[in-house]
Structure 1
Amino acid sequence: MKKYLIFLLSWPLFAGLNNLELRQAISMLESNNLELKISHFNEQMKAYEATAAKGHNYGKLDVTAAAMRSNDAGNVFGFKLQSREATFGDFGFAEFDGTNPNILNVQPSDLNYPEARNHYQTKISYILPLYTGGKLTEYGRITDALYRMSQWDTQKLLNEKIFQTKKAFYDISLVENYILNLSKIIKNINHLENIVKSMGDEGYAQEIDLLEVQARRAEAESMHNQAKLNKDLAYQFLSFLLNEEVNTIKKVNDMAPMPGIDAAEIESNNIDIQKALLGLQISQMAIDVEQSNYLPSIGAFGEYGSADDELWNEFREKDSYTVGVQLTWNIFNGGIDTANFEKAKVNHLKVQDQVSLAKSGIALKVKKLETEILSKNADVKSYKKQLHFARKVYENYRSRYKEGIVSISDVLMKQSRELEVLLKLLTVKNERNTKIFELNSILNKGGNV
């Protein structure tokens, strides 16, 4: 019984969201959407890449421990030298005989056939780049810029998902209004059917009139069912975007508000323009990287360690160190550096034109969308007037049918016109809203919801 009560109390948590508001949906989208989560992971990887690139400035510190055993003459003698244990006896002096006239031809067995020896060597080495012609600095700046680029990519994806979420809300609100209007039309058809039946009972209507009305009702009911299926599909898509089941939403006005447009704000806010400008900076950094190939590279290194035939035996007594500085300067490589440098400069010029193209292209797209939205606004006003007129005409023809002035076909034609205009109004509102959400994405600002 206790488990059953717990299930009943927790069941609403798994039943899906009800009466969801658009602002709540956008907040959920930012934290729940799977594509956005993946994009944030890409950001994190770019941030780590930037950190890794900067890490090269601090050099590299390694600890190496090696354990070996050998009876190779060169290795054994080298082991003893590294362990600071070499003696004259290792050269075969024990076999030296000054009275032997062929002493120079004697092959000392202690030197050539030494006993196998263990060798343990531990050393710490540190390599530090002192000067690279600015190459490491530019690599760090480039990886930082690529991290910022990934953030712009995430913002653009977020705008796209907000676009889709808003569109889903407005689509659902539109289709619910459409379903409501279809329900009224079906109710009117049912009322008309009752009129036809009454007139038939009095001998003023034929059976074909009744069949014609019933056929029209079947058509309207089919449209009604299709609209409900479309609403269910919109809810499924919204649930996919939010990564959570949504049952119902709080309806919004079926006409999305028009955002304000400012040319200066477009250039400073639009993501494609900002990415192009960032790409221009990266291309300049790439030039600096290629130019650094003409300059020398200077690095320092240091090494400290000890070796013995026993692990870490007499470490301080047998330790050693090596320090040094190395300069590398390429003088000639067949013109490769020059070609790469010129290529980077040409790419920089290309990106400059891409920035100009992005600015003019976005401005043109904004103007085009603005014009199309204004055109859709006019269409909406026109279809609203046409719908009002079509409804009045239908009511007039229905009254005239009662009086026997017009046929049932005439009435249904007028009613068909009402359905046609209603569908056109729904379509143009949907197209208008889509263009407004697209414009909002380009402007990259919140705006009213």
Structure 2
Amino acid sequence: MKRLKLISLLSAWLLGISYASAQQVLTLEQCRQMALEHNQKVLIADEHVEAASALKRSAKTQFLPSISANGLYTRTNKKFSLLENDLMLPVVPWTAIDPTTGGLNNTILSPTLPDGSPNPNFDPTVFGNTFAINPSTGQPYTDAEGNPVFQQYSWIPKEKAEIGEKNIYMAGISLTQPIFTGGKIRETYRIAKYGENLARAQSDAERTEVLYKTEESYWRVAAVNEKVKLVEAYIKLLDKLNTDLENYYAEGIIIKNDLLKVKVKKNEAELNLLKAKNGLTLAKMALCQQIGLPLATEIIIADSLPALMEPIAQANYVDSALALRPEIEALNQTINIAKSGVNIMKSRYMPNIGLTANYMFFNPNPYNGLTKEFGGDWSVGVAINVPIFHWNDRGHTLKAARSEQRVAELKMEEAKELISLQVQQAIFKLNESIKKVEMAQENLKQADENLKVTRDAFETGRQKTSDLLEAQAMWQSAYSELIDARMEYRLNMVNLKRVTGGLK
């Protein structure tokens, strides 16, 4: 039997060690850190910050030149024809060409002048082989319009004057550098930068909210845990009273009804203990959900509700809130974005100037008789676009942008008023909770003294059992109110930090 008892004690001890090791002890700072690392809203806000940062880097690249490669392949059905019909071109000496016009010089080619008289500039010995000469007159033959008929002609068939290929290739590299856009690129970059700041402010707001809910859940666990201990202490008082009453009853000092009164109170206390333990389990599950642990995780919080209240520092809480609240920072960035939007709408009235540089390759090669080979050349240019008139489209969009800026400014004014009201409410609630704690402490002190006096009187037979039960119930109620007051104070302290932007 001794051996069995030793084994049982050892097993119980080992089981207790394993259960304690399975439980996870968490401090408030650990819970805060775990909540920030596992909360989905915080993770989403962080991704929004990363996306905004990437957009800002993208907007910055608009200041730099863009380089692109282009390619084109085209298959055509027909070639280009330079001639409508076959051509017969006269063969003349080069001296017959007028250098100023590139055409025939009629002043020396025609044997007669317009009035019919002989042309002194016409030299039959030079141009005799150029024209077909009438032997009887010694003058060139003429056509129906009176133009001299040339002796030799060059025939150019229509099909020999066709150019182009069925397969056309083109490739090139282009560079475009904006020079002046009226400030569009600059304001676009600013909007992206303000967007990143806005995302960071929204992320800070999410973090503040998560920290507030985490601390709220943490202190609720602490409060419910103390209430469980309170009910257990109350049950111990009832057990001691029940033991004393059973002895009194055995001696015939009291009647059985006094024992029944204690048992009724104990049954009520055990039911309250069950409710308190269930509430503690739910509070721990809520905390586990907040910090990213499985709901069934056994946790123990390392802190308890403070018995002493922290002094409230004298400060201008409203100014602190307006300077530190992430909501104000977010609205500031919204106003900046709206202002940049107005500047972009103004830039639509201004010209756009850009520099272009290209190097193009062609096949057939237009630089070498359209041969079937690649030929290339470079080009540099400046492009400018000046808006003139489009039915006041720019005026309407500018008006809309200014209205958006005004809306953002009005939202800022409204937010400042609401935040000032929140801060004042938080201060009032904190002061009220301080007063409640002081009153609850005084009530508990009186209830404790009343319980002591009543117990002494009961033991000497000067108080009834019901009086002692009532004193114990009053003590439990006073203690429970003190726990509630301390928790309310702690939550109001956290809320003041939240509304003033100091919860980090």
Normalised to the residue count of structure 2, the TM-score between the two structures is 0.72
Query: What stretches of structure 1 of length at least 5 have no aligned partner?
Result: 1-11, 78-89, 100-105
1:360 Cα offset (Å): 3.3
**1:19 is paired with a residue of what secondary structure?**
strand
Aligned to 1:62: 68
Tell which has more relative contact order, 1 or 2 (C-alpha 8 A, sep 6+): 1
Establish whether residue 304 from structure 1 lines up as the match of residue 294 from structure 2: no
Aligned to 1:44: 50
Establish whether residue 219 from structure 1 lines up as the match of residue 268 from structure 2: yes
Aligned to 1:3: none
CA distance in 2, matches of 1:316, 1:389: 108
Q: Is the 8 A contact 1:192 1:398 kept in 2?
A: no
Structure 1's 289 and 71: CA in aligned 2 closer, same or farther, altered over 3 A? Answer: closer
Establish whether residue 72 from structure 1 lines up as the match of residue 77 from structure 2: yes
What does 1:86-165 align with in structure 2 at a 5 Å threshold?
Answer: 91=82, 96=86, 98=88, 117-165=166-214
CA distance in 2, matches of 1:108, 1:361: 87
State the AA in 2 paired with 1:24: Q
What does 1:240-255 align with in structure 2 at a 5 Å threshold?
Answer: 240-244=289-293, 247-254=299-306
CA distance in 2, matches of 1:195, 1:299: 101
Match of 1:396 among 453, 457, 478: 453
State the AA in 2 paired with 1:36: V
Establish whether residue 284 from structure 1 lines up as the match of residue 336 from structure 2: no
Higher alpha-carbon deviation: 334-343 or 258-267: 258-267
Q: Is the 8 A contact 1:67 1:121 kept in 2?
A: yes
Match of 2:408 among 330, 342, 351: 351
Aligned to 1:192: 241
Establish whether residue 325 from structure 1 lines up as the match of residue 382 from structure 2: yes
Normalized per residue, the structure richer in helix is 1
Structure 1's 91 and 346: CA in aligned 2 closer, same or farther, altered over 3 A? Answer: closer
Structure 1's 26 and 35: CA in aligned 2 closer, same or farther, altered over 3 A? Answer: same
For residues 344-398 of structure 1, the C-alpha deviation after alignment (integer angstroms, 9 at most, x for no partner) is 3333334334333333332232122111111111111111221232233234334
CA distance in 1, matches of 2:372, 2:185: 37
For residues 70-97 of structure 1, the C-alpha deviation after alignment (integer angstroms, 9 at most, x for no partner) is 2422xx55xxxxxxxxxxxx6479x836
Aligned to 1:26: 32
Aligned to 2:481: 424
Structure 1's 414 and 323: CA in aligned 2 closer, same or farther, altered over 3 A? Answer: same
Normalised to the residue count of structure 1, the TM-score between the two structures is 0.80
Larger Rg: 2
- After TM superposition, the runs of 4+ consecutive aligned structure 1 residues lying more than 6 A away are 109-112
State the AA in 1 paired with 2:303: K
CA distance in 1, matches of 2:211, 2:475: 34
Establish whether residue 410 from structure 1 lines up as the match of residue 503 from structure 2: no
CA distance in 2, matches of 1:17, 1:203: 49
State the AA in 1 paired with 2:481: K
Structure 1's 392 and 156: CA in aligned 2 closer, same or farther, altered over 3 A? Answer: same
Structure 1's 293 and 91: CA in aligned 2 closer, same or farther, altered over 3 A? Answer: closer
State the AA in 1 paired with 2:208: N
CA distance in 1, matches of 2:373, 2:51: 43
CA RMSD of aligned residues (A): 3.3
Q: Is the 8 A contact 2:76 2:167 kept in 1?
A: no
Aligned to 2:391: 334
1:110 Cα offset (Å): 7.8
Q: Is the 8 A contact 1:306 1:315 kept in 2?
A: no
1:171 Cα offset (Å): 2.1
1:242 Cα offset (Å): 2.8
Structure 1's 111 and 430: CA in aligned 2 closer, same or farther, altered over 3 A? Answer: farther
CA distance in 1, matches of 2:336, 2:240: 71
Q: Is the 8 A contact 1:17 1:247 kept in 2?
A: yes
CA distance in 1, matches of 2:279, 2:496: 25
CA distance in 2, matches of 1:432, 1:158: 22
CA distance in 1, matches of 2:230, 2:58: 62
Q: Is the 8 A contact 1:130 1:298 kept in 2?
A: yes
CA distance in 2, matches of 1:273, 1:356: 10
Query: What stretches of structure 2 of length at least 5 have no aligned partner?
Result: 1-17, 90-155, 366-370
CA distance in 2, matches of 1:111, 1:394: 124
**1:302 is paired with a residue of what secondary structure?**
strand
1:318 Cα offset (Å): 0.5
Aligned to 2:127: none
**1:173 is paired with a residue of what secondary structure?**
helix
1:247 Cα offset (Å): 2.0
